[in-house]
Structure 1
Amino acid sequence: MDPLTLLREYTIRNDLHKIVRIGDDYRFGNDYTFPCTIETAYRSKHVQANRYTLETLINFITNHHLKHTEYIQQSRSLRIPAVTLPDRKPLLDYLTGKTASSDSIEFLKFPQSNDTSVPVSVSAGVTGNEENVMSDVRVLENQNPIELIKAAEKPLKDREAILFCKNRDFYSVFTAALRRDEERHRAESLQRKDGLVAKNRIDRGYGGGDEIGYDGGPKAKMHLKGSKIGEGVPIILVPSAFSTLITIYNVKDFLEDGVFIPTDVKLKQMKGSKPDCITVQKKFSRDRVVTAYEVRDKPSALKPEDWDRVVAVFVLGKDWQFKDWPFKDHVETFNRVVGFFLRFEDDSVESAKTVKQWNVKIISISKNKRHQDRAAALEVWEKLEEFMRSRSH
């Protein structure tokens, strides 16, 4: 099966969510597997007549709703070659079934064999079933080469089938891995804080009247990158209500790994008490300098000096979320911090009616297409980093 034809079939059937990337391969359900960088039959008319790779086409069709500038930026962040602007519409029309063909398509042609001899393994031992065997051979001789390749392919197991083992429970392994990952991030955060404390003491001659406190309190004089106003690690606030998509339970998966996991699912995976604070970093970045952020969901527990460290908030869309905040109104609030409202793309307009009156970035994700979460998380990071740069000047 040609990968371009197969991708078109999956697009028309709305089965793109069944295309899963495993390492350097794309798996189409349980049927076919192709290398990510395999060249397809669709040839660009504007980039030295290059053929688009399967990776490029899948990234395009899953993100065609983005503006071209946003799509180019998203493709660059993933280091995937992008579809050119002139190729976008004809390619989209073909993949979605609006057009049946395109002059940009040039399927690879297999050489036709003139050898019609019967294989030795078939002809040498013909006995009572000679007529049936010869009939099968004639069918093979006249069959399309693509069909012969399909007949020889063997479907691979999907990831659920590979992980299935009788009398084996992976839940304990998974929770242990989550726990170790959380401990590692906590240790890294403490090491960074200790390093900043030590450097500040050396710069000041150590032991003077301006000795820095470990709690980032009034004595602290250091300023982290992007935190000119506040002192210490920047803070992101999330709602404590379960009615919102982002909570302190799933914010780490979304911001660090670019995967949205519903809060109720995370609660089943996690053990122990609810964390008061989570540390997150931007993992999927080519930048060497990585800023750590604290994520909290209890504004009432913040000290007055902590509010200068608050740089972002995920909003519920309810006024009572800001009841105990030290700012006089929504205008001042979203001038001091950057706001995000995460919603499902097919939710009613009413759900974002209040938020649209605020200076808040509205970000939509799919309920089922998890491969699109990464682009949404990148939107958050880009807006947050832009805000942090503006505060650092």
Structure 2
Amino acid sequence: MRMDPLTVLRDYAVRGDLDKITRNGDEFRFSNEYTFPCTSETAYRSKQGNLYTLETLIFFLNNHQLKHTEYLQIARTHKTPSVTLPDRKPLLDYLQGRSASADAIELHYPAPLIHDPPPPPLPPPPNHLAAAHPDDSNNDPTVRDTAALDYVEMIRALERPLKDREALLECKHRDFYSVLVASTKREEERHRMESQQRKDGLVAKSRLMGTDDRGVWKEGEELGFDTAAAKAKMHFNFKGSKIGEGVPIILVPSAFQTLITIYNVKEFLEDGVFIPTDLKVKQMKGAKPDCVTVQKKFSRDRVVTAYEVRDKPSALKAEDWDRVVAVFVLGKEWQFKDWPFKDHVEIFNKIIGFYMRFEDDSLESAKTVKQWNVKIISISKNKRHQDRAAALEVWDKLEEFVRSRSHN
């Protein structure tokens, strides 16, 4: 005797005999009464158009008490197709006997049960087609075309979708973070190449026309270049000055307990994305850089000043301290030990300070910092789309400070 798996499953659920349904390999066995393949399609059609499989419905019945988000998560873990939220209540009401029927039910007897004979071949064209032209049905093209159309419709009626929209959107085994990083790196390289080509062109033109040609530097300013940095570059190339002269410096702590370090400062300031230091250390395989160069890349129409980021103040020479414009503070006094300043009051009058914290951290962690003249920047532990606003806040404060300092 052949039975629809939906009817059998409902009968077992109403009787409270779900524990008598066991899985053996690719089959579900209902006591000693029935056996169905796990992937058998039932008569319950989802609002998305696909028929739910027996495996999907049994898993749903065994986990219906969970919140829908928790149910979806555990279904993905077990690699089992899930019931959609719109179908959840009417399906459960039917399976547990609270409703006698549902509009989504299309009773049928799809695949044969185990040991059943194969399905019969497609039937011949409807009799009325042959009866309409008993003598020339084989020669009449209209009859042949109509018969062929009926066969196509019969085939289409047996078709079933392999995946629904929800399954396609799950994108298993796809890591969108890696896609974001790769895309960001390509964009960064493109901007760097364009910027370098323009700078090289400006310097080359200056060499031909003379380093004091004001028209060349004016042209560079109109293009958005930091001509002071370009002049400094020409100065150390032609006059023998030390490399790096004129490039402003940002200091970050070398301790890992701070949010911004030399490992992740570039992604945060250039891309507006916070990546935990421990993750960056793994990606870089422990290769700690001595110096990192960062630029504000949020504006595509102009080139801005580059900054050197360092985490070893003890390696700075006396003349280097004039180039230090910002520091990310740890919140500890010992961070400023051996700095060439009287106290933190003098430090934060000459250097702008930033303190990075998670927005839900206790206020006690910033108790010392609040006594200093520093800017407190908060970011979320989980909402990475908010990082960009925090990075922009740092750039705005930094550029404002650099402008005021250059005017003094």
Q: TM-score normalized by structure 2?
A: 0.48
Structure number, greater radius of gyration: 2
Higher helix share: 2
Q: TM-score normalized by structure 1?
A: 0.49
Tell me which of the two structures has the higher relative contact order, counting C-alpha pairs closer than 8 angstroms and 6 or more residues apart.
Answer: 1
